[in-house]
Amino acid sequence: MGMSRSFLVAFLGCLLLAVPIQAQDQSGFISIACGAPAGVNFTVPKTGLNYTSDANFINTGVSRTIVPELRDQFQRYVWNLRSFPEGKRNCYKINITRGSKYLIRASFLYGNYDGLNMLPQFDLLLGANRWRTVNINNASVSRDFEIIYVPSLDYVHICMVDTGLGTPFISAIELRSLRNDIYETEFGSLEKYIRRDLGSNKGYRYDDDVYDRYWSYDDADTWYDNVDKWRKLNFPIDADSLVQNKYQPPAVVMSTAVTPANVSAPLVISWEPDDPKESFYVYMHFTEIQVLAKNQTREFNITLNGKLWYENESPRYHSVNTIYSTSGISGKLINFSFVMTETSTLPPIINAIEIYRVKEFPQQDTYQGDVDAITTIKSVYGVTRDWQGDPCSPKDYLWEGLNCTYPVIDSPRIITLNLSSSGLSGKIDPSILNLTMLEKLDLSNNSLNGEVPDFLSQLQYLKILNLENNNLSGSIPSTLVEKSKEGSLSLSVGQNPYLCESGQCNFEKKQKNIVTLIVASISGALILLVAVAILWTLKRRKSKEKSTALMEVNDESEISRLQSTKKDDSLLQVKKQIYSYSDVLKITNNFNTIIGKGGFGTVYLGYIDDSPVAVKVLSPSSVNGFQQFQAEVKLLVKVHHKNLTSLIGYCNEGTNKALIYEYMANGNLQEHLSGKHSKSMFLSWEDRLRIAVDAALGLEYLQNGCKPPIIHRDVKSTNILLNEHFQAKLSDFGLSKAIPTDGESLVSTVLAGTPGYLDPHCHISSRLTQKSDVYSFGVVLLEIITNQPVMERNQEKGHIRERVRSLIEKGDIRAIVDSRLEGDYDINSAWKALEIAMACVSQNPNERPIMSEIAIELKETLAIEELARAKHCDANPRYLVEAVSVNVDTEFMPLAR
């Protein structure tokens, strides 16, 4: 029919009982009268709502009162207000239930409280995001802003920001808890645009409305031009006789309606958004209020900008029917027309309408652990800075002395704390330790005393620690001194008269700067050493790669490959982005083609601008899925390499989570080895070596090209994907972990990965190193060489490593290499590949080569094969069949030749 289902209908079967009647229930209501004297509670007679003073929710600002003349016109809860002449940002912190839906209303009545008659303008923040600008344009008119919002923390911050256009203030804050299944959006929160009791001459709120929504009436507002074309209807409905739905519009609101003045003309409701990109959600409430005769019907279609939006609406007598949008509506003009159908004898009616504007709040709140820690620090030292609201967000209002990182998906984290010259006294507080991502800590020029605590060395990312010019005493913990000697920490402890390096305490004043000096010179020397080492390694590699002509050819082909991917990369950089769930539906053509399945969910084929993509959709039931999703997005937005699958974008809308990757036309390595693909796709020995080199380069990049290095943790042949040119790329980073420092570090972690590929040493120690990936890679190499299953059941030597080992003893390479290659490979390259593989799967991690060595060795293996092939194509083929003897019992060190 071509009608898009962009609306839904809410009406309750028949049962009045199905809706809990909560008319008198005020639980879930928080009503704050800002600026009212502390300890004062009062009830507003008209509504019965109880208001409380704001004293428990804020520590700053001053309490003021509107001019007495205005009091008669307003209820008591806006007689006072809190004004903020000091500080850029002042915040209320209100405890709520996280994950629940709230209607939040902020009210502003200037009322010439300061006698200046200067109408201010300032910003209003909700949590970490800017909600809107508050623009007071009439001293004696209250401005109320409403938003429907789901807080992610146990509290919300509501902040006023001084933007230099007058002193910010606020009169009242009201929070009303709503059911979670109403006013749902695809994304974002809903800010009230219009809420209108059509046909009424009066406004309503609690306790007519159980949610205390404000219903206004048709006054001088000009949001539509159609008022004069309407006729008002009023047939009072008793609240008890109205069958409600979950939106629960009040009976008194539903008692009035509008209908076209000209019975044969349509009823039109239209408005012109300020910005055509703005997105709106509309909720229309209907009920029949007239008793219709037998020969009468009322039925109409609703069109949106001329297109049929909802057909054959026929309001039922005293029963609420709500028709609402399920996705945002936008445009230069939004025009709803209600058109009588052919069979209808009566014109259309509508009783009430709500229009909301989508407000996106992209910035996440700062990580709760950091917020708690910095709040403790603030109170321990009585920090007098203007520290209010979210510490890191919005970025423009970052707390003075802090610096944060803003990860794409995760919460912001505090990485710098600078409390220099802040009049701090007392000891260094352990709450600092809870700022776990801290990189710089500056406590210099204060009056801190006591010892330098050992715990500071537990801050594993700390790079700069400045404790200069305090009254610290005792010896500097050796752990810190060691770190600074290693060069991983820049430590400044000068001008602390009673401080000394451990073991050398004799409190001579002369010594006070020695530590810093030693530290500085040592780290200087270290940097030089490292630089020399790097240069040397580079040079060595270069000369090694130049050693054979073939190597260069190989490099060239690599360069051309790199160029081709570079093109892709630039595309990706532009396109890497967040997709909405509806985009995902479009891209995958409603999940039309499945190309893979896993524990996390399903992978679908999709198209973006005619280019194929793979869309991995997380199944909501996948328990670990969410964490793996986050891990993968976090990692992939950072890493970029031709041998790692690229992320094009992702979707993260509530439970709808999807990752969009470049499409790998030739599936995974395992499929090709197992012969799942047709014979024409059969992988030659040369192909296999190339794939091995590619995969090794991908892994090498994770280990050496990433800071901090990354352990893949799930290297296996099904995670090595092949594109249309059979270029291999590592995929599936869901289990990957970044490790904090250099390659030697061990990470204690829960075991994860795939049996058979999992490092046996890691089984024993339950610790994971980069060498675990090397082991897994070795297993993949063995698969590539032998085309045998990794685990063979019902065999004594079940693991591929053991099976190959026993064959090596017989010294017959042809018994080991995949028989389907029919001997079409160079024996030397086969032996060399086998050596590398066996070295990788050494029991002892220390005997396994590192990834960069493996990559170089594999490239050489490929070069040998290519050379042999080139000779093979000569007119006089000459085979160099030379068995290389391998001693199985001693360690395999292919590099030590």
Ligand X SMILES: *[C@@H]1O[C@H](CO)[C@@H](O)[C@H](O)[C@H]1NC(C)=O
Please identify every residue annotated as catalytic. Answer: 714
- Residues 6 or more apart whose Cβ sits within 8 Å of residue 159: 89, 90, 91, 92, 124, 125, 388, 389
Q: Which window, 96-104, 135-143, 163-171, 194-202, contacts ligand X (CB under 6 A)?
A: 135-143
* Identity of the amino acid at 259: T
Which is closer to ligand X, CB of 294 or CB of 509? 294
d(CA 312, CA 640): 54
Instruction: Report the residue from 6, 100, 335, 403 that binds ligand X according to the rule CB under 6 A.
Output: 403
d(CA 836, CA 858): 8
39 binding ligand X? (CB under 6 A): yes
Are 19 and 12 in contact by the 8 Å Cβ rule? The answer is: yes
d(CA 488, CA 483): 6
Local structure of 441: helix, strand or coil = strand
Q: What distances in angstroms separate CA 607 from CA 7, 270, 588, 659, 707, one per listed residue?
A: 27, 36, 7, 13, 33
141 binding ligand X? (CB under 6 A): yes
434 binding ligand X? (CB under 6 A): yes
Which parts of 248-267 interact with ligand X (CB under 6 A)? Answer: 262, 264-265
133 binding ligand X? (CB under 6 A): no
431 binding ligand X? (CB under 6 A): yes
Question: Which string of b and e fits 677-699 if b means at least 16 CB within 10 Å?
Answer: eeeeeebebbbbbbbbbbbbbbb
335 binding ligand X? (CB under 6 A): no
Residue 644 CB, nearest distance to ligand X (Å)?
25
Which is closer to ligand X, CB of 20 or CB of 524? 20
Local structure of 176: helix, strand or coil = strand
Q: Which two tokens stand for residue 834?
A: 């086998």
Which is closer to ligand X, CB of 339 or CB of 858? 339
458 binding ligand X? (CB under 6 A): no
Q: Which two tokens stand for residue 80?
A: 């006072």
Are 791 and 861 in contact by the 8 Å Cβ rule? The answer is: no
Query: Closest by alpha carbon to 48, among 215, 250, 212, 200?
Result: 212
Which is closer to ligand X, CB of 95 or CB of 460? 95
d(CA 141, CA 159): 21
Which is closer to ligand X, CB of 412 or CB of 778? 412
Q: Which two tokens stand for residue 29?
A: 């209501």
Residue 493 CB, nearest distance to ligand X (Å)?
22
436 binding ligand X? (CB under 6 A): no
Residue 310 CB, nearest distance to ligand X (Å)?
9
Residue 880 CB, nearest distance to ligand X (Å)?
56
Instruction: Please name the helix (run of DSSP H) or strand (run of DSSP E) that holds residue 539, with its range, or none.
Output: helix 514-546
Q: Which window, 83-91, 428-436, 670-678, 691-699, contacts ligand X (CB under 6 A)?
A: 428-436
Local structure of 406: helix, strand or coil = coil
41 binding ligand X? (CB under 6 A): yes
Residue 646 CB, nearest distance to ligand X (Å)?
25
Q: Which window, 368-376, 536-544, 822-830, 859-867, contacts ligand X (CB under 6 A)?
A: 368-376
766 binding ligand X? (CB under 6 A): no
Q: What distances in angstroms separate CA 847 from CA 740, 787, 836, one per listed residue?
A: 23, 25, 12
Local structure of 803: helix, strand or coil = helix
Which parts of 214-253 interact with ligand X (CB under 6 A)? Answer: none
SS3 content of the chain, % helix, strand, coil (to 5): 30, 25, 45
For the window 92-111, what string marks contact with ligand X as x by the rule CB under 6 A?
Answer: ---x----------------
Q: Which window, 166-174, 218-226, 272-280, 429-437, contacts ligand X (CB under 6 A)?
A: 429-437
Which is closer to ligand X, CB of 345 or CB of 577? 345
Which is closer to ligand X, CB of 116 or CB of 884? 116
Residue 82 CB, nearest distance to ligand X (Å)?
15
Instruction: Report the residue from 60, 112, 140, 327 that binds ligand X according to the rule CB under 6 A.
Output: 140
Which is closer to ligand X, CB of 140 or CB of 788? 140
Q: Which window, 334-342, 445-453, 542-550, 882-890, contacts ligand X (CB under 6 A)?
A: 334-342
Q: Which window, 36-44, 536-544, 605-613, 754-762, contacts ligand X (CB under 6 A)?
A: 36-44
Are 189 and 104 in contact by the 8 Å Cβ rule? The answer is: no
Residue 429 CB, nearest distance to ligand X (Å)?
7
Are 702 and 644 in contact by the 8 Å Cβ rule? The answer is: yes
Q: What distances in angstroms separate CA 601 from CA 583, 629, 633, 658, one per listed residue?
A: 18, 11, 16, 9
Which is closer to ligand X, CB of 308 or CB of 578? 308
Local structure of 84: helix, strand or coil = coil
Query: Closest by alpha carbon to 771, among 846, 853, 856?
Result: 846
Local structure of 895: helix, strand or coil = helix
Task: Check the annotation: does 616 bind a ligand.
Answer: yes
293 binding ligand X? (CB under 6 A): yes
Q: Which two tokens stand for residue 209?
A: 């409305």
Q: Which window, 136-144, 245-253, 284-292, 734-742, contacts ligand X (CB under 6 A)?
A: 136-144
Which parts of 49-78 interact with ligand X (CB under 6 A)? Answer: 50, 52, 56-57
Which is closer to ligand X, CB of 65 or CB of 73? 73
Q: Which two tokens stand for residue 337?
A: 């027309």
301 binding ligand X? (CB under 6 A): yes
Q: Which two tokens stand for residue 49?
A: 């709502």
Q: Which two tokens stand for residue 471?
A: 């009254």
Query: Residue 293, exposed/middle/buried by CB under 10 A (0-12, 13-18, 19+)?
Result: exposed
Reduced 3-state DSSP string for 319-384 = ECEEEEECCCECCCCEEEEEEECCCCCECCCECEEEEEEEECCCCCCCCHHHHHHHHHHHHHHCCC
Instruction: Report the residue from 114, 207, 278, 311 that binds ligand X according to the rule CB under 6 A.
Output: 311
d(CA 302, CA 307): 8
Residue 208 CB, nearest distance to ligand X (Å)?
17
6 binding ligand X? (CB under 6 A): no
290 binding ligand X? (CB under 6 A): no
In 524-581 the beta strands, taken as DSSP E runs, fall at: 577-578
Instruction: Report the residue from 236, 423, 430, 450 that binds ligand X according to the rule CB under 6 A.
Output: 430
Binding-site entries for ATP: 616
Q: Which residues are annotated as a binding site?
A: 616
Residues that bind ligand X (CB under 6 A): 26, 39, 41, 43, 50, 52, 56-57, 95, 138, 140-141, 262, 264-265, 293, 295, 301, 308, 311, 339, 341-342, 345, 369, 373, 376, 403, 416, 430-431, 434
